[in-house]
Amino acid sequence: MTTTEHDMYAGSTETSEGRVFTVSGQDWDQIAEGLAEDDSDRIVVNMGPQHPSTHGVLRLILELEGETVTEARCGIGYLHTGIEKNMEFRSWVQGVTFCTRMDYLSPFFNEATYSLGVERLLDIEDQVPEKATVMRVLLMELNRISSHLVAIATGGMEIGALTVMTVGFRERELVLDLFELITGLRMNHAFIRPGGVAQDLPPGALEEIRGFVELMRKRLPEYAALCNANPIFKARLENVGTLDLEGCVALGLTGPVLRSTGYPWDLRKTQPYCGYETYDFDVQTWDTADSYGRFRIRLNEMWESLKIIEQAADRLAGLEGAPVMVADKKIAWPSQLAIGSDGMGNSLDHIRHIMGESMEALIHHFKLVTEGFRVPAGQAYVPVESPRGELGAHVVSDGGTRPFRAHFRDPSFTNLQATSVMSEGGMISDVIVAIASVDPVMGGVDR
């Protein structure tokens, strides 16, 4: 390749694809000047690797004629973590610590699908305590709200609606405060584990959750007032990133992208898990199959999540003192956490028992923590409805204490296929809107 331009910001090179320009934010006229002597209006632009509403690093290779996109391709792999491979070298419980970091905007869904798969292999699905299951639903729906808030906030920011961004992150902080109260962490929780959850709700958590629901019922209408009928907002989103039902099914797209076509596919209703069939809520759809419809679906889904959270909180109020981990001590994680002088650790009574009263308890604790439990040979796949669509963990066991294979069907990876279909034929400014409406998280794409 030979450099033909000396513009430090928009250098072009001759390649087999033609002249390629790397654009880094300067005025469009500067690039146009570089084409003054060229008869062709076709240029290839690298958009990224950067962060256009993708919650991670994505590279887009765009072929343009003027400002119209004639071809769009995704370049992924810039955030690769090797999480799936790493899980093969850790115990079944330690795997939760890895997979929670994939789609880091919806960590509880990663933990839930993995734990449900391991429980199916262990054949203990019926033994998981009710309180643990209700807590899982509560945390997942809180997480759905926090994830949708980021999708709406960053999507608004990309088109210049900065107020949408500030109020979105304002509300998300409230959800993360609840996560910190319940799990001790704002993200990367490793809280949902095979057999149940790591610990019980702390005192006062239900009151905080109810207070959050009450506050959100007042705050959510702000988004509707800012966006729903805003002519500028609608002009940027309507008929942008359009993909009909046939296209979604052909590409395997799920979540709000699929439901924006009017098709009510939601795994919480169609293939219930964690007792979702016992909760009262509605599947949200739209009939425009465009970016605006996906925005409205996410807004409406937050209202439905508040309904589920309220029902879960009522159930938890009647389960005071109930167990949150499976009774089988060969599987149950042995820690009994308590708030101590060091912030948080094992309760003193638990330490006294295993260190001073029972040699068997000490040996069992040591074996379970260092080696882990054995899982019968087999394979399982239990999908859940994450904020972005169908998220499933395919877990395979060879009968040992570690996963033989753990592979995740991440919706961001699958939905990202729609980038070219949604972008080609539109304006370059609409590419960002289309991608924002898909809401991909690159941590889930580059596993």
Tell whether the model's pLDDT for residue 335 goes beyond 70.
Answer: no
CA–CA distance, 69 with 430 (Å, rounded to integer): 9
Peptide bond connecting 49 to the previous residue in cis, omega within 30 degrees of 0: yes
For residue range 172-230, what is the model confidence (pLDDT) as tens digits? 999 999 999 998 889 999 899 998 998 889 888 999 999 999 999 998 888 888 878 88
Q: Are residues 149 and 240 in the same domain?
A: yes
For residue range 223-267, what is the model confidence (pLDDT) as tens digits? 888 878 888 888 888 888 888 899 899 999 999 999 999 999 999
User: Buried (b) or exposed (e) across 331-359, using 16+ Cβ within 10 A?
Assistant: bbbbbbeeeeeeeeebeeebeeebeeeee
| pLDDT score, position 2 | 42
Q: Are residues 141 and 69 in the same domain?
A: no
The answer to whether position 5 is within a domain reads no
For residue range 38-65, what is the model confidence (pLDDT) as tens digits? 556 678 888 877 766 667 788 888 888 8
Amino acid present at 221: P
Q: How confident is the model at residue 10 (pLDDT cuts 50, 70, 90)?
A: very low
DSSP assignment of 198-234, as one string?
SSPPPTTHHHHHHHHHHHHHHHHHHHIIIIIT-HHHH
| pLDDT score, position 397 | 93
Tell whether the model's pLDDT for residue 350 goes beyond 80.
Answer: no
Q: How confident is the model at residue 337 (pLDDT cuts 50, 70, 90)?
A: low
Q: Are residues 235 and 296 in the same domain?
A: yes
Containing domain of residue 358, as a range?
337-370
Amino acid present at 61: I
Q: Are residues 396 and 425 in the same domain?
A: yes
The token pair that represents 164 in the structure block: 């949408």
Q: Are residues 124 and 34 in the same domain?
A: no
- pTM, entire model: 0.86
Q: How confident is the model at residue 3 (pLDDT cuts 50, 70, 90)?
A: very low
| pLDDT score, position 22 | 61
CA 119 to chain centre: 22
For residue range 289-325, what is the model confidence (pLDDT) as tens digits? 888 999 999 999 999 999 999 999 999 998 888 888 8
Side by side, the strands of the sheet bearing 42-50 are: 12-15, 18-22, 42-50, 58-65, 68-75
Q: Do residues 64 and 70 touch, judged by C-beta distance below 8 A?
A: yes
Q: Are residues 19 and 54 in the same domain?
A: yes
Q: Are residues 179 and 48 in the same domain?
A: no
The answer to whether position 147 is within a domain reads yes
The answer to whether position 6 is within a domain reads no
Please calculate the CA angle 233-235-236 and round it to the nearest 5 degrees: 70
| pLDDT score, position 114 | 95
The answer to whether position 3 is within a domain reads no
The token pair that represents 123 in the structure block: 């054949």
The answer to whether position 180 is within a domain reads yes
Q: Are residues 310 and 210 in the same domain?
A: yes
The answer to whether position 97 is within a domain reads yes
Q: Are residues 267 and 315 in the same domain?
A: yes
Q: Are residues 165 and 104 in the same domain?
A: yes
The answer to whether position 7 is within a domain reads no
| pLDDT score, position 357 | 73
Q: Are residues 384 and 311 in the same domain?
A: yes
Q: Are residues 48 and 122 in the same domain?
A: no
What SS3 class is residue 284? coil
Sign of CA dihedral 287, 291, 292, 293: positive
Look at residues 57, 75, 93 and tell me which one is the last residue of a structural domain: 75
Q: What percent of the chain has pLDDT over 90?
A: 40
Tell whether the model's pLDDT for residue 112 goes beyond 90.
Answer: yes
Tell whether the model's pLDDT for residue 98 goes beyond 60.
Answer: yes
Q: How confident is the model at residue 410 (pLDDT cuts 50, 70, 90)?
A: very high
Overall average pLDDT of the 2-12 stretch: 48
Considering its fold, how many domains does the chain have in total?
3
For residue range 124-181, what is the model confidence (pLDDT) as tens digits? 889 999 999 999 999 999 999 999 999 988 888 888 888 888 988 999 999 999 999 9
Measured CA to CA in angstroms, residue 434 lies from 159, 290, 294, 424 at distances of: 11, 8, 10, 10
The answer to whether position 2 is within a domain reads no
CATH number of domain containing 239: 1.10.645.10
Look at residues 75, 96, 115 and tell me which one is the last residue of a structural domain: 75
Amino acid present at 378: G
Measured CA to CA in angstroms, residue 61 lies from 28, 58, 76, 223, 393 at distances of: 17, 10, 11, 33, 31
Measured CA to CA in angstroms, residue 52 lies from 123, 433, 437, 438, 439 at distances of: 43, 9, 11, 12, 10
Q: Which residue has the tokens 């395919």?
A: 394
